[in-house]
Amino acid sequence: YLAQAIEALAKAGAKSATSVFESASFTKGVCAAMPGLADKFNLTLQDEIEVVSSPTSVDLDPVARNLSMAENDPDIVVACVYDQGCAEWVASMRKTGWSPRAQVFTVCIGMDKFQNAVGTDAMYMMGVSPWDPSL
């Protein structure tokens, strides 16, 4: 699910990554691939951060503040969260005045609810999606 995005970012020069994932089976499962992907593509996996299901700014603001610190600033953040978590994560990064060099989202990119919540912050964002030739 994440392999092509992580591979492309590693080839573009990324050296470190952190995952932030919502406490739900799908989101945990997607981000569970990060240790193996980090090893495969020679990235340092700095942290794997679990937040509550349907996180709000109360949950995500401290994570964004922590990751924005120079000693923690990863090249890539993989956010394995649903649409509410995506919008809250974008708001938390904005409050902190920080953005990782690359942000990989699951689920929310392209969803009307997410785009309505974050407005123009959704411009130029990309996410990953499973694809099957039968589609």
Q: For residues 24 and 78, give the distance between their C-alpha atoms in angstroms, rounded to a whole number.
A: 15
Which residue's entry shows tokens 């600033």? Answer: 73
Q: Which residues of 84-121 are buried (b: 16+ CB within 10 A; e: fewer)?
A: bbbbbbbbbbeebeeebebbbbbbbbebeebbebbeeb
Evaluate the CA torsion angle 41, 43, 45, 126 in order and state its sign: negative
Q: Output the six-digit token pair for 114.
A: 């997410």
What integer pLDDT is reported at residue 115 of this predicted model?
85
DSSP summary character for residue 75: S
Mean pLDDT by 10 residues, the chain (135 residues): 92 97 94 97 98 96 97 95 91 94 86 86 74 57
Give residue 120's identity as a one-letter amino acid code: T
What integer pLDDT is reported at residue 128 of this predicted model?
72
DSSP summary character for residue 79: E
- pTM of the entire structure? 0.90
What integer pLDDT is reported at residue 135 of this predicted model?
53
What integer pLDDT is reported at residue 62 of this predicted model?
98
- Are 73 and 47 a contacting pair, CB within 8 Å? no
